[in-house]
Amino acid sequence: MPALETKAKELIFNTLSQSWAKSKHRRVVYHLKANDKILDIGAGKGALSWMLLEQGFDVTPVDVQNISFTEKVKPVIYDGETLPFPDNSRDVGLFLTVLHHTPDPEALIREALRVCDRLIIIEDVYHGKAQKYATWFTDSLFNLEFKGHPHTNKNNFGWLKTFADLDLRVLHIEKEPVLGLFEQVTYYVTK
Using the predicted structure, report yes or no on whether residue 26 has a pLDDT greater than 70.
yes
Residue 74, class by beta-carbon neighbours within 10 Å (0-12 exposed, 13-18 middle, 19+ buried)? middle
Length of the chain measured in residues: 191
pLDDT at 167: 98
- d(C-alpha 179, C-alpha 79), whole Å: 33
Phi-psi region of 105 (alpha: psi -120 to 50; beta: other; left: phi over 0): alpha
pLDDT confidence of residue 124: 85
User: Which domains, from first to last, does the chain contain?
Assistant: 3-190 (3.40.50.150)
C-alpha to C-alpha distance for 28 and 30, rounded to whole angstroms: 6
Contact 126, 152 (CB under 8 A): no
How many helices and strands, by DSSP H and E, does the chain display? 6, 7
Lowest mean pLDDT among 58-72, 105-119, 167-181: 167-181
**DSSP letter for each residue of 14-43:** IIIIHHHHHHHHHHHGGG--TT-EEEEET-
What is the overall mean pLDDT for the chain?
Answer: 84
Residue 94 half-sphere exposure, CB side, CA atoms within 13 Å?
A: 28
Give residue 9's pLDDT. 43
pTM, two decimals, is 0.82
Q: Are 40 and 60 in contact (CB under 8 A)?
A: yes
Averaged pLDDT, 78-86: 97
Distance of CA 131 to the CA centre of its chain: 21
